Amino acid sequence: MPARSNQAGSGRGDIRRGGSPGERPGEHPGEHPGERRPAAGRSQPGTYLDYVLAQASERIRRDLSAAIARHGLPLEIWHILTLLQDGRGRAMGEVAEVALLSLPTATRTVDRMVAEALVYRAPDPEDRRRVLVLISDKGRALWRKVKRDADRHQKAVIARFGDDWVQELIAKLDELATGEGGDRA
């Protein structure tokens, strides 16, 4: 049996460099001269919708986090305050869903928000067995301050891409998220 080398890059076909056994560097099986490859900087995962959506989401989240950072508020808490700012109480399941958190994580987050007097819990007037989360006056005042910075961030995105483009993207992503509008062939 031939000895195997443990050195990285020790010959032809180093799989860690994207090749396959028996392949010379720069050769790609099935590739013909002049065949189009993904653009430089655009990895092959970038050809899949889930990957590009995740990249775009991460960029928007990072930029929005930076925009509201001076308030010391994580995005999850911003999302929860935004959900609750209309004054209608929400069940924990809905809070978790909107904040993109698991139910246990949402519960811990709301516990911290209660401790900071940003929200409070109260029985649902229509079903006393249910507990609702509601925004406090302090939470609403903080939401108003943070909203100015979040709105500036949104306006910067709109200035870059245009209002029509952003609104159309939001509508299409909402269709994708809800599973509606998928009847196109």
Which pLDDT tens digit goes with each residue over 24-69?
Answer: 444 444 444 444 445 555 557 778 889 999 999 999 999 999 999 9
Instruction: Give the pLDDT confidence score for residue 149 in this predicted structure.
Output: 95
Confidence of residue 184 (pLDDT cuts 50, 70, 90): low
Which pLDDT tens digit goes with each residue over 102-157?
Answer: 999 999 999 999 999 999 999 999 998 899 999 999 999 999 999 999 999 999 99
Q: What is the pTM of this model?
A: 0.70
Where in the chain are the domains? 47-164
Q: Is residue 5 a contact partner of residue 16, using CB atoms and an 8 Å limit?
A: no
Instruction: Give the pLDDT confidence score for residue 40 in this predicted structure.
Output: 55
Instruction: Give the pLDDT confidence score for residue 182 in this predicted structure.
Output: 60
Instruction: Give the pLDDT confidence score for residue 82 in this predicted structure.
Output: 97
Contacts of 63 (CB under 8 A, 6+ apart): 153
Fold of the 47-164 domain = Arc Repressor Mutant, subunit A (1.10.10)
Instruction: Give the pLDDT confidence score for residue 177 in this predicted structure.
Output: 87
CA dihedral of residues 177, 180, 184, 185 (deg, nearest 10): 70
